Amino acid sequence: MTALSTPSVWTALGLIMFTNILLSGDNAVVIAMASRNLAPHHQKRAIFWGSAAAIIMRILLTIVAVQLLSLPYLKIIGGILLIYIGVQLMAEGDDDESIESSSSIFQAIKTILIADLVMSLDNVVAVAAAAEKAPEEFRMPLILLGLAMSIPLIIFASTLLLKVMERYPIIITIGAALLGYLAGEMFVTDPAVTDTLHSLMDHPNIPFQILGILLVVGIGALLKKKHAKSE
């Protein structure tokens, strides 16, 4: 029980919830777009069951990801992917036009699930990376608890979060920087390089975390500026 009171456990839980909610904004748009042609009472059912099924699928994918991250070089790959995801989070435009609405509740749920499967890779990698902050024996329970606690927040607060992001873009930058931080952490803790890095410097995680933040925010800002000029 003493370990439960350690800051690393609660930090990991907070990071899991924050990254999952932050990266679920697009998923909330998918849910809304897929359900918009349904009758009002069917919309609520589609949103609830679509979200619940998507969360269960995400939990299973995350469990697999956590197990895979113990293999050499996979954390490095995951870190690179996190940097890409963070850059996309800062630089991406609106892709709502590609989401097809549905007139059947089952078709809407299917659309939500398929879209969420494609879009959930960022959530899975980010949540798995956030769980690395906790002691190994607590990682899986924290993932399950964090994702479960995120369900009502995602269903009821994602739309609000999107509006807040639109009004205060700095939140997107902070979230992207967090992914860069986690990417640096993943790279340093990869079994293939961690011993070498620690033999070269005392605290290799700090420069790599800073590098991850600078890469994500810097490249993301450049791409966002380029995207704005092209419009």
What pLDDT tens digit does each residue of the chain (231 aa) get? 455 667 778 888 888 777 777 766 656 656 666 676 677 778 778 877 877 787 787 778 777 776 776 788 888 888 898 888 788 877 764 444 444 455 677 877 777 776 666 556 667 777 777 887 788 778 788 877 777 777 776 666 555 655 676 678 787 788 788 888 888 988 898 889 989 998 999 889 999 999 999 999 999 999 988 877 776
Q: Can you read off the two tokens belonging to residue 168?
A: 């205060």
Closest CA to 31 of 149, 158, 125, 122: 158
* Residues 159 and 28: beta-carbon distance below 8 Å: yes
Domain count, the chain: 1
In a domain, 190, yes or no: yes
Residue 230 lies in a domain: no
- Please state whether the predicted TM-score (pTM) of the whole model is above 0.95: no
Minimal CA–CA distance to 16: which of 152, 126, 172, 137? 126
Q: Is 107 exposed, middle or buried (0-12, 13-18, 19+ CB in 10 A)?
A: middle
Domain that holds residue 217: 7-225
2 domain residue, yes or no = no
